[in-house]
Amino acid sequence: MIPGLGTVIDRVSGLFGKGYLLAGFFPVLLIGLLSLLAGYDASERVQRDLDRFLALEAGKQALGSAAFLGVVVVVGFVFWSLNSWFRALLQGNILPERMRQWLVEDQKQRLDKMQQELDVCEDQVHEYRLLHGRDRPPDVGLPPTWLARLLAARKAGAATGIESTVRPSPKIQGEFRKVRRLVARLEPVPTEALENLCSRLEEELRKSKVTGGSALDQLHVEFRDLADKAMARAQNLCDRALTHRRSRFPVDLEAVGPTRMANVAELHRNRALNCYSLDTEVFWLHLQRMATADEHFRPILDDAKTRLDVSVAMTIAFAVTALVWAPVLALRSGSLPLFLLFAVGLPAAAVIAGQTAVVNLRLFGEAVTAAVDLFRFDLLKGMHLKIPADSEVERDLWERLTRRSQLLGKNKLEYTTS
């Protein structure tokens, strides 16, 4: 335990707030402590200096620790102030243009693969709607549905007048077992499997009259249940694929960014633009003023922002420490576990923290979206503008305000004092 650490934490937390403590002071303190650990192993000079410090009396150790913590406080403040720049770095917005374009193309390839999977799901759902009959468009030119075919086959079997005493064939029972297994495991059932099953059941039903409660009658009833469940599963997979695509990439292909963080950030900006023509990058400070005035919403927004800042700060802290010390320890370390900590453990921690930053950015974006939905009219009132009568008037108003704020035109605004 560093002498005086608790006192320093209390003072800096009271002076700068929880955000600085978690996203500035602690990451820099972590970098400092890990650097001392690595330096002690890799440098004889650092080892001698630390041993000499530990041999000092308690008062001098406390003075040295205070000096160390003072440096951490100052550097932590700078580190905390750079959090927005760190976020822009993780979003790829400040990378060299050639590297940025290469990463954008990689993200577009991921999007294209995701879109292909979505297209396959949508095609299967479309096939189910045509063959099963549920949600099928009324069109006399379409082929008969599975249920219509089985009903026609059953009528044809009844017309023969032959009472059925034969149990279903082993082949059709085997086909039913395969489909039952897929449905029970919640796995996707190809339409081809149900088409083959329907064809075999159709052949069996045409041979003779099927009485209620017989084995074939039970298979007829079960087929409909299996088809319903298989179609529901296909629709569920399609919905999940669509949600997966919408939660990771913006709708506009040209808005795709170089990293996952960039695409998540663009998602929530697009949401406000598409719904209200409101650009959150232009009006966020205005909206933040209205949102933080609400005592119930302010903690939600502050917590989301703090989580994002901390995850970004820890990503940079782990990555920088690993980049600086892993090569040094590879050449001069006498401890394999310590080298593995810096060469493997810290990069892994940086990746985990980066993934957490993406999740926290999504949560912060949802908080921003909620702020837009809940407080945009409060912002208009604060700007002494009339509340629009409908969504079209609102979209036009935000477009004019955006152009005005960007000095792209002089638009007349009607103010209200009520």
Residue 347, token pair as written in the block = 């990069």
In this structure, how many other beta carbons lie within 10 angstroms of the beta carbon of residue 261?
25
Whole-number Cα distances in Å, 342 to 22, 84, 143, 337, 345:
22, 26, 65, 9, 6
Q: What residues contact 138, with CB distance under 8 A and at least 6 apart?
A: none
Percent with pLDDT over 90 in the chain = 33
Cα(36)–Cα(321) distance, rounded to whole angstroms?
11
Residue entry with tokens 């990058």: 281
Q: Any idea what the Cα angle at residue 278 is, between residues 272 and 279, rounded to 5°?
A: 90
In sequence order, what are the beta bridge partners of 415? 385
Give residue-wise pLDDT tens across range 198-223: 888 888 888 888 787 788 888 888 88
Give residue-wise pLDDT tens across range 256-297: 889 999 998 888 888 888 889 898 888 888 999 999 888 999
Residue 28, token pair as written in the block = 């820099």
Cα dihedral angle (318, 323, 327, 328), rounded to 10 degrees?
A: -70
Backbone Cα Rg of the chain: 33
Cα(236)–Cα(242) distance, rounded to whole angstroms?
10
Kindly indicate the confidence band of residue 93, based on its pLDDT and cuts at 50, 70 and 90. Answer: confident
Give residue-wise pLDDT tens across range 315-371: 999 999 999 999 999 888 778 889 999 999 999 999 999 999 999 999 999 999 999
